[in-house]
C-alpha cells in the first residue's frame, strides 16, 4: 500500500493510514465483502486490497476489487462500511476496470436541496443528482412509463412539479392526465395542455372521457404509422402525450364509486401502458404505495422507470425494487423528503435527490412562464 499526504507529521499520518487500512479490512470481513480461504496455517479472510490511501481531506482509499466482484458489491455495503471508517457515507466510483475509488464523506452527499434551474438545456429532463454528484439527465423522448411512490410528504408531488415545469414549455409535449388533488394541473388553466387534463373528484366520468379520447388517439396514431416505421415521430403536430395520474389510489377510489366506471378506467390505463409507448404516449403513475390492490402487477411491469421516495416498510420498497439490498431498503424508511431510489433499465439501483423548484408558487410561476413561452418550431424526431 502507498499513501499520500500533504501534511507535516509523517509519523502521525502513517498511523492514520495504518488505522484506515485495518478498519477497511475488518469492516470488509464484517460485511461479507471478504472471502474465507484455507491456508497451511488455518482459515483466513482475504478482502479487496487497499492499494493507495490519500489522507484528506477528502480521504480516499483506492481499492482493487477481488475476482468476481463488481462496483455494485461495494456500493451495496457502503452503509455498513462507512461508520467503521469514521465516515458518514462513502462515495464509490469505478477507476479503470477493477479498481474503485472510495471517498470518505463527512455528511450524506444528498444532504441539502438541489435547486432546479429552468429552462434545462436541449431536450434533457433533470430527474435529480446521485450520490456521486452525477446529474441524472434524460432526453424526454427516452423516458419510459414511470411509477413514483412514497409515503405522504416524501416528495412525490415536488418531483412531479419539477418534471412538468421542465416539459410544459416544449411544443412537442402535452402534459395530460388526471389530478384528483387539483393542485398539479391548476397552473395549466387556459393553456394548450388544459384540454387534455381533468382535475378534482367531482366528475369521475370525465376521467373516462379523457382516457377514451387518449386511447382513441393512440389507436389512430398506430394505424397511421407509415409502413416503414414502428414508432411515432413526435412533432408539434403529433406531440408526446405525457399522461400523469396523480394520487392514483384516490383516482381509482373516485372512479370506483361506479363499479363499471372503475373497470373501464383501469382498462383504458392498461391499454395506454401496453401500447402507448410506440405511439408517443408516456404514463406516469404517482401513488403512495404501489401495492398490488392498487397498481396491478401488469401495470407495474409496464413501468420500467420506478422511483421510490421514503417508504413505510422495506416490503413497500420491494414492490418496485425487488432484490434491493436490505441495508439500503431499511435506511430508506427514514429518508428525508426529496431523496429517492430509482430503478431503470440497465442501471443499478440509484439513490438520488430530486430537484426542488421552491414553493408551490414557484411551480405555478414556472408553468405559466413555460406555457407562455413561444411555440417555436422544433424538428421532429423518433421516440422508442
Ligand atoms: N426534492 C425536495 N427537496 C427539498 N424538499 C422537498 C423535496 N421534495 C419534497 N420536499 C419537502 O417535502 C414536502 C412534501 O413534499 P410533497 O408534497 O412532494 O409530498 P408528497 O409525497 O406528494 O406527499 P402526499 O402523498 O401527501 O401528496 C414539500 O412541501 C417540501 O417541503
Ligand atoms: Mg403529493
* DSSP codes of every residue in 309-368: -S-SSHHHHHHHSTT--HHHHHHHTTPPTTEEEEE-TT---EEEE--B--SHHHHHHHHH
CA–CA distance, 358 with 326 (Å, rounded to integer): 33
Query: Which residue in 345, 341, 343, 369 sits closest to 354, CA to CA?
Result: 341
Report the separation in Å between the CA atom of 328 and the middle of ligand 1, taken as the mean of its atom positions.
21
CATH number for the segment(s) 124-382: 3.40.50.300
Q: What stretches of the chain adopt beta strand conformation (E)?
A: 2-4, 35-39, 42-46, 49-54, 60-64, 89-95, 99-105, 124-130, 135-139, 146-149, 173-179, 197-199, 233-234, 240-245, 281-287, 305-308, 339-343, 350-353, 381-382
Cβ-based neighbour number of residue 336 at 10 Å: 15
Task: Please name which ligand lies nearest the alpha carbon of 359.
Answer: 1
pLDDT at 383: 44
pLDDT (tens digit per residue) in 247-284: 999 999 999 999 999 999 999 999 999 999 999 999 99
Mutate-to-test residue for ligand 1 from 115, 129, 338, highest number of ligand atoms within 8 A of CB: 338
Amino acid 8: pLDDT:
66
**Site of grid cell 471478504:** 34
Looking at ligand 1, which atom is closest to the CA of residue 288? 25
Ligand 1 and 337: CB distance under 6 A: yes
Q: What is the pLDDT of residue 379?
A: 42
Does the domain at 2-105 match CATH 3.30.980.40? Answer given as yes
Place of cell 411515432: 232
Characterise 122 by phi-psi region: left (phi > 0), alpha (psi -120 to 50), beta (else): left
Lookup: cell for 373: 413561452
As a whole number of angstroms, the distance between CA 134 and CA 129 comes to 5
Phi-psi region of 373 (alpha: psi -120 to 50; beta: other; left: phi over 0): beta
Residues 93 and 105: their CA atoms lie apart, in Å, by: 13
Cis peptide bond upstream of 324, omega within 30? no
Q: What is the 152 CA–ligand 2 centroid distance (Å)?
A: 7
C-alpha triplet 316, 384, 231: angle, nearest 5° = 130
Q: Closest Cα to atom 25, ligand 1: which residue?
A: 152
Of 174, 332, 159, which Cα lies nearest the Cα of 243?
Answer: 174
- Domain ranges within the chain, ordered by starting residue: 2-105, 124-382
CB 215 within 8 A of CB 268: yes
- The pLDDT of residue 376: 42
- Burial annotation 126-156 (CB, 10 A radius, 16+ → b, else e): bbbbbbeeeebeeebbebbbbbbbbbeebbb
Question: Whose alpha carbon is nearest atom 15 of ligand 1?
Answer: 155
Cα angle 265, 266, 270 (rounded to 5 degrees) comes to 120
Q: Which pLDDT tens digit goes with each residue over 287-310?
A: 999 999 999 999 999 999 999 999
Q: pLDDT at position 265, please?
A: 98
State the distance between the two ends of the chain, measured CA to CA, in whole angstroms: 49
- Which residues does the chain have with pLDDT short of 70? 4-8, 374-384
Give the alpha-carbon dihedral of 311, 314, 319, 320, to 10 degrees.
60
Alpha-carbon distances, residue 59 vs 20, 41, 91 (angstroms): 10, 35, 11
Assess whether the C-beta atom of 148 lies below 6 angstroms from ligand 1. Answer: no
pLDDT given at position 86 = 93
Using an 8 Å Cβ cutoff, are 126 and 136 in contact?
yes
Is the Cβ atom of 111 under 6 angstroms away from ligand 1?
no
Give the angle subtended at the CA of 273 by the CAs of 272 and 276, to the nearest 5°. Answer: 55
The CA-based angle 106-328-153, given to 5 degrees, is 85
DSSP string, 106-122: SS-TT-S--B--SSPST
Amino acid at each position: 500500500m502507498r499513501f499520500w499526504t500533504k501534511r507535516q507529521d509523517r509519523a502521525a499520518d502513517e498511523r492514520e493510514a495504518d488505522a484506515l487500512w485495518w478498519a477497511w479490512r475488518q469492516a470488509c470481513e464484517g460485511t461479507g465483502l471478504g472471502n474465507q480461504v484455507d491456508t497451511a496455517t488455518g482459515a483466513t479472510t482475504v478482502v479487496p486490497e487497499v492499494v493507495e490511501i490519500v489522507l484528506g481531506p477528502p480521504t480516499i482509499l483506492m481499492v482493487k476489487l477481488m475476482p468476481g466482484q463488481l462496483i455494485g458489491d461495494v456500493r451495496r455495503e457502503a452503509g455498513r462500511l462507512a461508520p467503521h471508517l469514521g465516515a458518514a457515507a462513502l462515495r464509490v466510483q469505478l477507476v479503470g476496470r477493477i479498481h474503485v475509488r472510495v471517498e470518505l464523506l463527512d455528511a450524506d452527499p444528498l444532504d441539502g436541496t438541489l435547486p432546479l434551474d429552468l429552462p434545462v438545456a436541449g431536450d434533457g429532463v433533470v430527474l435529480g443528482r446521485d450520490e456521486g454528484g452525477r446529474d441524472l439527465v434524460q432526453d424526454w423522448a427516452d423516458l419510459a412509463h414511470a411509477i413514483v411512490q412514497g409515503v405522504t410528504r416524501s416528495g412525490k408531488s415536488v418531483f412531479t412539479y419539477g418534471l412538468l415545469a421542465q416539459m410544459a414549455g416544449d411544443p412537442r409535449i402535452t402534459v395530460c392526465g388526471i389530478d384528483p388533488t387539483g393542485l398539479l394541473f391548476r397552473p395549466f388553466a387556459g393553456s394548450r395542455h388544459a384540454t387534455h387534463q381533468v382535475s378534482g373528484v367531482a366528475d369521475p366520468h370525465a376521467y373516462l372521457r379523457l382516457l377514451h379520447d387518449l386511447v382513441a388517439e393512440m389507436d389512430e396514431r398506430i394505424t397511421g404509422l407509415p409502413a416503414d416505421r414502428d414508432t411515432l415521430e413526435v412533432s408539434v403536430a403529433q406531440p408526446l402525450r405525457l399522461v400523469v395520474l396523480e394520487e392514483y389510489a384516490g383516482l381509482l377510489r373516485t372512479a370506483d364509486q361506479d363499479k363499471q366506471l372503475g373497470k373501464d378506467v383501469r382498462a383504458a390505463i392498461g391499454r395506454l401502458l401496453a401500447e402507448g409507448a410506440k405511439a408517443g404516449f408516456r404514463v406516469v403513475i404517482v401513488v403512495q404505495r404501489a401495492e398490488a390492490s392498487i397498481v396491478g402487477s401488469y401495470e407495474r411491469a409496464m413501468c420500467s422507470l420506478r422511483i421510490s421516495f421514503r417508504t413505510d416498510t422495506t416490503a413497500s420498497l420491494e414492490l418496485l425494487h425487488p432484490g434491493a439490498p436490505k441495508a439500503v431498503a431499511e435506511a430508506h424508511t427514514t429518508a428525508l423528503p426529496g431523496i429517492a431510489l430509482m430503478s431503470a433499465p440497465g442501471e443499478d439501483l440509484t439513490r438520488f435527490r430530486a430537484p426542488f423548484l421552491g414553493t408551490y408558487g414557484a411551480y405555478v410561476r414556472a408553468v405559466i412562464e413555460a406555457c407562455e413561452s413561444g411555440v417555436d418550431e422544433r424538428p421532429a424526431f423518433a421516440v422508442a
